[in-house]
Each structure stands twice: as structure tokens, then as C-alpha cells.
Structure 1
Amino acid sequence: MSGAIKGNILTSAGWVRGEIAFSDRIGAIHGASTDPATNGDDYVIPGFIDLHVHGGAGKDVMEGGDAVHAIAAIHAKHGTTSLLATTMTAPPEDIDLALKAIGEACANRRPGCARVLGAHLEGPYINSGKLGAQPNFARAAKLADVQRLATFAPLKLITVAPEIAGHLQLVRELADAGMRVQIGHTLGSYEDGVAALEHGAAGFTHLFNAMSGLHHREPGMVGAALAHAQYAELIPDLLHVHPGAIKVALRAIPHLYCVTDSTAATGMPDGEYMLGRHTVQKCMGGVRLPDGTLAGSTLTMDQALRNLVGLGLDLADASARVSTYAADYLGLQERGRLAPGAWADMVVLDRDLNLKAVYIEGELL
């Protein structure tokens, strides 16, 4: 399997007007530096990387079985070439079931599906006072428990509320073991956030959502992120976070990257869907619990990119925030960039930023 694409190609050195040759990996990029505004060619940019995916196509990660493959397929149609399947706070047997299915999907990518890189363990090590849309099965973490879960699937991200007794030490132990820990679903203070970063936490889960907010005398967890974070994820569906707050985060956090936090309702009509053990309602472009609490989203990464450009980011900057920074955060040097030797994960966009083609490890969807 080999091929070539022509257009305005976004490389790490900037835009090149020319051709990219590839098989499962990129072989070479030929062309000259360009300003895409001077021509009418398509854009060729790195495939999107989504580190927070609960569902899609009517399926939820917590179902286990083949659900992860169906989820990876619907997101691939929207340009996501790799993702982390994300768990919910749930009883231990539910999490075991989900992680076993995630592990199988990691080992066996099916045609037409995004590459499942591993799991984002969003629950259960969170604060029961800041559940957001999570069911109330929160519990304190123990290293042995995390190590057992890691036998089922690669745990690429683990969300932790650092103010829970014992969690700061656990953050250090997990970081020392090479696991990426981020702060989320937390009532912790600014000081708790700073302490967690000092103990090895690397980022923040859906910045602004399900964490203590910023006040000028009590900066909260949001304040810790804005003052100190290099990386944080954010949901740019324009429902979870006001555009003004997104702009604040863009100025404050150098490698702010975007996630969908998508649910089973993604790609589906309005109606009821499952989110872990919760029933949620999709209507008016959002997903909510019966009490009105936002419960994930129906966002796709191609729309996330368009939303960022709509907020004033240039395409290269927006592309980094839906791809490159997430890859860098996980230490993946062969994804999230168009360069010789990297995986041929690419999307082709027309001049209105609509998807024209998606390539995953060289496979044209």
C-alpha cells in the first residue's frame, strides 16, 4: 500500500506546497515553502488525536465487547486517526470489562477505525463532591489497584483528584512508573494543584469543568492550571467553556490541546443514550443529565478544529492543538506531525476546512 497526496502540506517547519509520499509511514515530502493564502489547493494536516473519548455511534466505552471498535470507526470518519478510549467512575467489575475490551482494540485495529492507543482512566480516583456527570462510584486509589488495571490495557492517562488522602504520594508513584497523571474532577485548592504538579502530575482534565474555579483571593484548581500548566485538555464545543475563557487558557497554557469528551450520542440523532451507568439526553447540540448537568459532548475533532479557527487561531496553530500537542504530551514522536518516518496519519481539508479524505497509517478511509 503506497500513495501520494498533493496540496498545502503542514510540516513542522511550516507550510510546503507539493507532494507527500507514503505507505503506512511517510516516506518523503517534496515541494517548496508556501503561504496557503496565495493558492487554492487543499490543506494536508496531521490526523487528529483525541485523548478523551467516551463513545460515539450509539456505543459507550463502558459496554465492553465491540463497542470500542464502533467508537473508533465513527471518530475516524471525522478525522481522528488515534484516540484514548476513556472510562467512567464505576464499580470495579465494570471498569475491568471496559479495559479488557480496550486492550483488545489496542492490539487489533480494524480497517476504517482510528488507532486506539490505550485507555484514559477518568474514574474512579476522583472527588465524590465534584462528579460532574460521573456516577458516584468514586474511591481512593491504591498503586496495586492501578497496576492490576494496567494488565488489561495500556493506561496512558489517569485522572486523579489530588486532595484525596494518599493521592499525592500516588501521583508520585505513578509518575515514577512512567504513567501520565492529570488533575480532574477535583475540589482541590490552588495549593493542592501546585503540590500535585510538583509530585509529577502533568496536566488537567477538561480544564474549567469539574474543578474548583478561579477567584482572585482563592485561585482554585483553575488558577493552578493557568499559572503553572504546560499542558491541559479543553473541550472546545463552545458549550462546556465560554469562548472568552478559551482565549484566557490559550494565552496562559503553552500546549493547551483539545479533546471531544464525546459520548454515545456523537453522530446520532437526539434521544436517550448511556454514559456509563447514567442515562443521558441529547438535545439542542448538547448532552445532559436529567438535572441539566452537561454530560460529555457530541463534538468531533473536525468541528473542534473549525471552532478554534472561528475563535481566531490560524490553521497551523489550531492543527497543533487537535493533534501535535496531544502526541507530544504522550511522548509520541511518530504521530501528530507530517515528517518522514512518522505514521501516515493525515487529513485532507478543502478551503472551508471540510474533510475530503482521512488516512490512518496509510489506509484511506
Structure 2
Amino acid sequence: MVREYEVIDLPPFHQNTLIVADRILTPHEVIEHGSIYVQNGVVHRVTDKIPEKVKDVVLLDLDNCLVLPGLIDIHVHGMAGVDIMSAEEDDLMVMQKELARKGTRAFLATTVPAPLPELKRVLAVIARRIKRQKPEDGAALLGIHLEGPFLNPERRGIHRAEYLLPPDKQVFEELQDAAEGNIKLVTLAPELPGALSLIEYLRRRGVQVSVGHSRASYEEFWKSIEAGVEGVTHLFNAMGLFHHRHPGLAGAALEAEVYADLIADRLHLHPAVIRLACRLKKEEKVILISDGLPLTDSPDGRYLLWGREVTKTGTQVTDSNGNLVGSVKSLLEMLLNVSRYLEKPLEQVVSYATLNPARFLGLGDQWGSITPHSIASFTVIKEKS
């Protein structure tokens, strides 16, 4: 029997709050019948005890609920009709609320290749939203994931070839200026001329780098690691195929001590492939992403997405060639899928969507965990009756 859960909405923590819950996944441990004391928006104390007397605090009783660290999605392009590439600030706020409603509590706004003036405009809008956001707006906008324009045209997927560019420090600086320094992650193809130099430059600037939309060989990927790469974007998708004599990027990613993110919607990857990846990678190096599209709640039909016609049929979105385009599943759904695929309880995989992406972004335990001094960001779910 497949367990189904609903997301419980939480109020913003403007006042000191005591949360009482049946189960808390920190994710370092599982606390049964415990409590979380939140002070000034920060976790002050987590304990397996429930105070008998509560003074000057708001009591939040989450009976029959499971409290997880707030889920973090480092790769999401839109939701509920909101496309990051055409969104204004109000649209981004709608997206923040919708993400929170579906269990995601923090995210990176993920862009796609576009004409540079247009891409700069998009980045500036996101930067303004980051600056003005408030806790009550929903999912926290942690920064920007720049997917491209430094991608391999042969593995571009839906991205338009005319908007792809060779790796260039000056181009990145122009984009980072438009983003007011909020680009936190760049996906690129390391086999392109100038890529290794750009990777080294990005790492010196404190920007995380992931390899994706790439035909990098096994050897080329290892060179990119030496330059500073620490992650792989949607492992197995939009990259060269694994071969027993030429393991390529996928083989190197499974072997190397790098983060690898997975789209666990059952369409992009077979459950057996997810099981294989999770067995080969260390637990702390697996990240789940949604690769979410603006079409999450849209009816079946044809749509124009980033200048391309796509077709939505149920939970599947494809381009005119039948290739998969992103996902319409939430990050929480991906997490629950992986729990089922691996036949592991949620507490053993929750870090894939919480602590691991936080550490990948250099946020330590401030996000993605429920520990003293961490941000009070929680995903609360309740089993449907």
C-alpha cells in the first residue's frame, strides 16, 4: 500500500513559537513526540520533551504530523503557470506560495539560455524579489541557478542552440552584475573551450559549479573536478550514454566524490537506475531536484515554452521530437518516490532534499536541518486518511 501525504501549511514565525509534533526528522535523528522552540525565526531548541507550561509563546500543535527540514529545490524553472523567464516580481511571489503549498520551503530560481539582454532582465527581476521577500511570502528564494548559456549544443535538450555561448568570464560577470551577485550555481559543459578556466574563476568567486547538458568524456569530467566542479546536473539526462569501455560523464559522476542530482519522477529515470545511483553514491552526495516547469497544474494540451512547442499529457511533458522536457512533479513527490524505490523509511532519504542541497550550496546546517541556530524552515506532512 502506497502512503499518501498532504502538506500542512505553517504560519510565519513572527513570534516565539513552540511546535509540538508526533515525529521530527532533524535529519540527523528521529525524535518521537518532541518539540521545537523557535525564537526570532531561528531554531533555539529541539528536544524529545514537551514542556508542561508554556508562557509568552505561540503553541503550534501538529498532531499526527511529521516535521521535516524545509525541502530545498536547487533546480526549478516555474510552477502553477509562472515561468521564471517571463515572470515579474508578483509572479515570483505566486510561485513562492505555490512551492510552499507543495512542500518546498527554499529554492534556486533556475533560468534557461536566452538572448543576453533578456536574460539580464530576468536576473534583475529575480534579484529584486530576493531583496524584497519576506518570511510570509512562502518558499525562500535563496538565489539563482544559471542553467546555461555555456552548454554543449549536442546535448542542449529543449534549450535553443542560437542562445548558447562559449564559456566566457566577461559574459558571466555581466550576468552576475544584473543578478546583483545572486547567481549561486552554474550548470555548464566542461568540454567546451574555455570552460576549465571559467570553472576556476567561478569557484574563486564563491559560485558553485555543476556539469550538465554535456558530452564530456570520463577524462574531461575528471579535469573539471580538478578545476573545481562539485556536482552533476540531472545525472543520466542530457549527457553522453554510459558504455562499459567508455564510461563517460555518467560513469565518472558515479565514481567521483561529487554531488549528483536526480529527477525521480519515474519518467526521467527508471527506479532501478535510481537505486543503482543511490547505492554507488555516498548518501551525503545524492540530491533530488524537481526540474519543475510552469505547467505543473496546467491541463493536458500543447503549450509554447521558451520558444518551443511542448505537449503535456498527464505528468509527462515532451517536445516536438518526443523528448522529455522537465517535470511537473513536486520535490516532495520525488522524495516520497525515492523512499519507495529504495524501500527505505523517509528519515533515511530526507537529507537528499534538505541537508545535501544545503551543503552543496555552502549553507552548512543553517538550512536543511532542524538543529539549534538553523533557520526555522519546515515541511510538515500528514498521512491522508
- TM-score of the two chains, using structure 1 as the length reference: 0.91
User: Is the 8 Å Cα contact of residues 157 and 213 (structure 2) preserved in structure 1?
Assistant: yes
What is the alpha-carbon distance in structure 2 between the residues aligned to residue 204 and residue 210 of structure 1? 11
What corresponds to 1:139 in structure 2?
165
CA offsets 1:123-160 (integer angstroms, 9 cap, x no match)? 11000111112122211021121112112221111011
CA deviation after TM superposition for structure 1 residue 238, in Å = 0.8
Matched ranges for 1:10-21 at <5 A: 10-17=25-32, 18-21=34-37
Name whichever of 117-126 and 148-157 sits farther off. Answer: 148-157
Which of 127, 132, 138 aligns to 1:113? It is: 138
User: Is the 8 Å Cα contact of residues 266 and 299 (structure 1) preserved in structure 2?
Assistant: yes
Matched ranges for 1:123-134 at <5 A: 123-134=148-159
What is the alpha-carbon distance in structure 1 between the residues aligned to residue 257 and residue 318 of structure 2? 29
CA offsets 1:69-101 (integer angstroms, 9 cap, x no match)? 222221111111110000111111221121111
CA offsets 1:31-83 (integer angstroms, 9 cap, x no match)? 16xxxxxxx94211101000001011111111041332222221111111110
1:3 aligns to 2:17 (yes or no): yes
Residues 72 and 274 of structure 1: CA distance in aligned 2, closer, same or farther (over 3 Å): farther
Q: Secondary structure at the match of 1:339?
A: coil
Q: Secondary structure at the match of 2:94?
A: helix
1:28 aligns to 2:59 (yes or no): no
What is the alpha-carbon distance in structure 1 between the residues aligned to residue 103 and residue 304 of structure 2? 24
CA offsets 1:90-130 (integer angstroms, 9 cap, x no match)? 11122112111111121122533211111100011000111
What corresponds to 1:179 in structure 2?
207
CA deviation after TM superposition for structure 1 residue 164, in Å = 0.6
What is the alpha-carbon distance in structure 1 between the residues aligned to residue 175 and residue 351 of structure 2? 31
Matched ranges for 1:73-88 at <5 A: 73-88=97-112
CA deviation after TM superposition for structure 1 residue 274, in Å = 4.1
What percent of counterpart residues are identical?
A: 33
CA deviation after TM superposition for structure 1 residue 318, in Å = 2.0
Residues 162 and 274 of structure 1: CA distance in aligned 2, closer, same or farther (over 3 Å): same
What is the alpha-carbon distance in structure 2 between the residues aligned to residue 43 and residue 12 of structure 1? 12
1:65 aligns to 2:88 (yes or no): yes
Q: Secondary structure at the match of 2:349?
A: helix
Consecutive unaligned residues of structure 2, counting only runs of 5 or more, are 1-14, 50-62
What is the alpha-carbon distance in structure 1 between the residues aligned to residue 96 and residue 303 of structure 2? 18
Aligned partner letter, 1:304: M
What is the alpha-carbon distance in structure 1 between the residues aligned to residue 218 and residue 95 of structure 2? 36
CA deviation after TM superposition for structure 1 residue 169, in Å = 1.4
User: Is the 8 Å Cα contact of residues 200 and 227 (structure 2) preserved in structure 1?
Assistant: yes
Q: Secondary structure at the match of 1:72?
A: helix
Matched ranges for 1:1-365 at <5 A: 1-7=15-21, 8-17=23-32, 18-23=34-39, 24-31=41-48, 41-66=64-89, 67-110=91-134, 111-136=136-161, 137-153=163-179, 154-254=182-282, 255-311=285-341, 312-333=343-364, 334-351=366-383
Two-structure CA RMSD over aligned residues (Å): 1.8
Q: Secondary structure at the match of 2:154?
A: coil
User: Is the 8 Å Cα contact of residues 121 and 178 (structure 2) preserved in structure 1?
Assistant: no
CA offsets 1:237-274 (integer angstroms, 9 cap, x no match)? 01001111111110122211100000010122223344
Consecutive unaligned residues of structure 1, counting only runs of 5 or more, are 33-39, 355-365
Aligned partner letter, 1:282: K
What is the alpha-carbon distance in structure 2 between the residues aligned to residue 349 and residue 236 of structure 1? 19
CA deviation after TM superposition for structure 1 residue 12, in Å = 4.5
CA offsets 1:308-355 (integer angstroms, 9 cap, x no match)? 111113211221011110001011131100011111101222246x9x
What is the alpha-carbon distance in structure 2 between the residues aligned to residue 276 and residue 4 of structure 1? 45
What corresponds to 2:56 in structure 1?
none
User: Is the 8 Å Cα contact of residues 232 and 258 (structure 2) preserved in structure 1?
Assistant: no
What is the alpha-carbon distance in structure 1 between the residues aligned to residue 247 and residue 193 of structure 2? 21
User: Is the 8 Å Cα contact of residues 272 and 280 (structure 1) preserved in structure 2?
Assistant: yes
Name whichever of 66-75 and 307-316 sits farther off. Answer: 66-75
CA deviation after TM superposition for structure 1 residue 230, in Å = 2.6
What is the alpha-carbon distance in structure 1 between the residues aligned to residue 302 and residue 92 of structure 2? 19
Aligned partner letter, 2:111: T
